[in-house]
Structure 1
Amino acid sequence: MTTGPRWGMTIPFYDRSLAASRDLIAELPGLGYTDAWSAEVNGVDGFVPLAMASEWAPQMRLGSAIVPVSTRGPGLLAMSAATLADLAPERFVLGIGASSPAIVERWNAGEFVKPFARTRDTLRFLRKALAGEKVGERYETFEVKGFKLERAPKIPPKIVLAALRPRMLRLAAEEADGAITNWLSPGDVRKVRAEVGEETELIARLFVCVSEDAAKVRELGRWMLASYLTVPVYAAFHDWLGRGEVLRPMHEAWAAGDRQAALKAIPDEVVDELIVHGDAATCRARIREYVRNGLNTPILAPIPGGEVPIAQAVRDLAPVEE
């Protein structure tokens, strides 16, 4: 079992449905994983996998990383969180965030307006609603009139924020219970940690490919990085982290519609910084480097493409004393 930092896993797994993930999710606690975290993009939603995992792996802490604040109404978000808090008392962590224009507007017919303010307002509303208060309040980005949970959780869940840059990171430290970040290197952790202080839980999803074929991993990694780092919030994040110039050729080619040139413009060292790869021992050592630099909760996301099947990678990446 792990001693010290938490050691999380993304559920369900990339190579199978939620229904087909049951046995492997149930295996996680025995392997030493402490946490199971969902995601919500265009696959499963953020809550159902956690509801199922609350039964399949009742020892684990469960978290959403993340559910967007602009694809559900505030009241519905509170109801979903209250349901999970009831199923997994003191084990559920609600991760919320601004998300992106593509997810909010193009896919969900919402409005991606004032993302910082909307996240802050939702956090403040949820604090009151999940504590069982009747909320009637005009916030900067929405107004709630007389909402009260029919059955508030006995113990309100912790709330953590998706945060990439100083303003949101400071909000997470000052008003939430932690910060979730993404697509960063072990060295980047120090810069992010400096914004939230030493007491704030810092959580990050780490994409891992158990493979010694570096060329194959880099080819796969370039596609993943291009799809993420061209999103404005991630582009700004990496500008802040200091990769603005090295990623400029990728951004220029992408903006010109030349996808192949954009992929070729991503240097090997950037892929190697942002995707954990190698044999299982090398990957575990890399993950522990993140932890040494200030990450409290790594959330592993084993990706297909390596020589090792996902199920075996999950087992091989489990925390061990080394």
Structure 2
Amino acid sequence: MTADLRLGLNLGYWQRDPFDATALVQAAERLGYDSVWTAEAYGSDAFTPLAWYGARTSRIRLGTSVVQLSARTPAATAMTAMTLDHLTGGRLLLGIGASGPQVVEGWYGVPFPRPLARTREYVEIMRKVWRRDEPVTHDGEHYPLPYPGGAGLGKPLKLITRPLRPDIPVYLGAEGPRNVALAAEIADGWLPLFTLPERIGEMYGPPLAGAAPGFDIAAMVMTLLTDDVRGALDTVKAMLTLYIGGMGAKGRNFHSDIVARMGYGEAAERIQALYLAGRRQEAFAAVPDELADGISLVGPAGRIRERLAAWRASPVTSLLVMGPRDEDSLRTIRDLVLG
């Protein structure tokens, strides 16, 4: 149970139209939000907007939710993280994730198999880079250092710059139980995308059992402050339609899998089948209202206040709200969560 939730603002990644959220981020900082987070898929990257916002703020922590492993080598991510952490006075929270085979193989042109093993090696190398104990070597299958081929001239190197923090916090974006268990074992926090607060303990209790004290479960939550509950639920349902139906292939969709583990297996199968058949409006209609309502916080302030009780009773330690786009909404949500 978490009586005192931390509050963050999750901006996600740019959609079709770029959005400079500087004013929103500055408002969140003034209002006492703990963190702001950016993401990437196959459009805007996560680090550049975060550097932009970091240069225009002084206190709010800066998180990536998430940067994709296949977009950069472990050393490149470690260098970027170290640089941004220095420039922002030690405010970076580095969230990483494996993404899925469609993006990894279709966009980055690298193989997807064995994401857990790749994630483990990735984090090991980054931490070696930041510690600067010695020149970095790694004999893993996925990221061997030095590279055992090519010109044959590779040599172990040590980061030139001394990191501001040799222990930059690492979060994992994870959905499957084994990936969540890996986060509990090797990371400082977990970034769940879809969360039913009433069931998260039941679903992930064993995988989270090995987490160290202070492990942060930072749940991303669509939060829409409005009197139009029906319209807000439809917004959440539209997002779920895309993720369950279109973010992955038939038989390999991690978002559909997690919805099934929540108890909506039949609905998930139907949504995906309809979506892949091009019947997207029917797929939207097949998303259960109770699922959309369960993973989100939508409606007028009183309704959101009632729903927050379930989040406070869950293992979640941080709420990363997605959706607010004005200072008044940020203030009301702040008052509801931090009270």
Fold shared, TM-score > 0.5 on shorter chain: yes
Higher strand share: 1
Match of 1:153 among 150, 163, 169: 163
Moved more, 141-150 or 191-200: 191-200
Which aligned pairs between 1:251-290 and structure 2 lie closer than 5 A? 251-287=272-308, 289-290=310-311
* C-alpha contact 1:61 1:91 (8 A) present in aligned 2: yes
Distance 1:30 1:282, change over 3 A: farther
Q: Distance in 2 between matches of 1:281 and 1:42?
A: 37
Show the counterpart of 1:242: 263
> Given the alignment of the two structures, is residue 210 of structure 1 paired with residue 225 of structure 2, yes or no?
yes
Match of 1:172 among 183, 186, 193: 183
Show the counterpart of 1:196: 208
Show the counterpart of 1:317: 333
Structure 2: any 5+ residue segments left out of the alignment?
Answer: 147-155
Distance 1:287 1:148, change over 3 A: farther
Q: Deviations over 1:254-284 (max 9, x none)?
A: 3433222211211211111123210134335
State the superposition RMSD in angstroms. Answer: 2.5
Q: Distance in 1 between matches of 2:273 and 2:11?
A: 35
State the Cα distance separating 1:201 from its structure 2 match: 1.4
Q: Is the partner of 1:143 in helix, strand or coil?
A: coil
* C-alpha contact 1:193 1:202 (8 A) present in aligned 2: no
Show the counterpart of 1:44: 44
Which aligned pairs between 1:1-322 and structure 2 lie closer than 5 A? 4-11=4-11, 17=18, 20-132=20-132, 133-145=134-146, 146-156=156-166, 157-192=168-203, 194=205, 195-197=207-209, 199=213, 200-230=215-245, 231=248, 232-287=253-308, 289-302=310-323, 310-320=326-336, 322=339
* C-alpha contact 1:9 1:35 (8 A) present in aligned 2: yes
Moved more, 188-197 or 28-37: 188-197
Q: Which runs of 4+ in 1 moved over 4 A?
A: 12-18
State the Cα distance separating 1:171 from its structure 2 match: 1.1
Q: Which amino acid aligns with 2:223?
A: V
Moved more, 251-260 or 216-225: 251-260
Q: Distance in 2 between matches of 1:121 and 1:233?
A: 21
Q: Deviations over 1:42-63 (max 9, x none)?
A: 4431112222232322111211
State the Cα distance separating 1:17 from its structure 2 match: 4.5
Q: Distance in 1 between matches of 2:34 and 2:309?
A: 15
Q: Deviations over 1:179-228 (max 9, x none)?
A: 11111222133235513137321111111122222322233222210111
Q: Is the partner of 1:207 in helix, strand or coil?
A: strand
**TM-score under structure 1 length normalisation:** 0.88
Q: Is the partner of 1:187 in helix, strand or coil?
A: coil
Q: Which amino acid aligns with 1:167?
A: R
Q: Distance in 1 between matches of 2:236 and 2:120?
A: 33
Q: Is the partner of 1:314 in helix, strand or coil?
A: helix
Q: Distance in 2 between matches of 1:37 and 1:209?
A: 17
**TM-score under structure 2 length normalisation:** 0.84
Moved more, 221-230 or 246-255: 246-255
* C-alpha contact 2:14 2:43 (8 A) present in aligned 1: no
Structure 1: any 5+ residue segments left out of the alignment?
Answer: 304-308
* C-alpha contact 2:97 2:172 (8 A) present in aligned 1: yes
State the Cα distance separating 1:79 from its structure 2 match: 0.9
Q: Distance in 2 between matches of 1:204 and 1:192?
A: 14
Q: Distance in 2 between matches of 1:280 and 1:246?
A: 30
Show the counterpart of 1:306: none
State the Cα distance separating 1:104 from its structure 2 match: 2.2
Q: Distance in 1 between matches of 2:73 and 2:101?
A: 17
- Paired positions, count: 314
Q: Distance in 2 between matches of 1:288 and 1:14?
A: 31
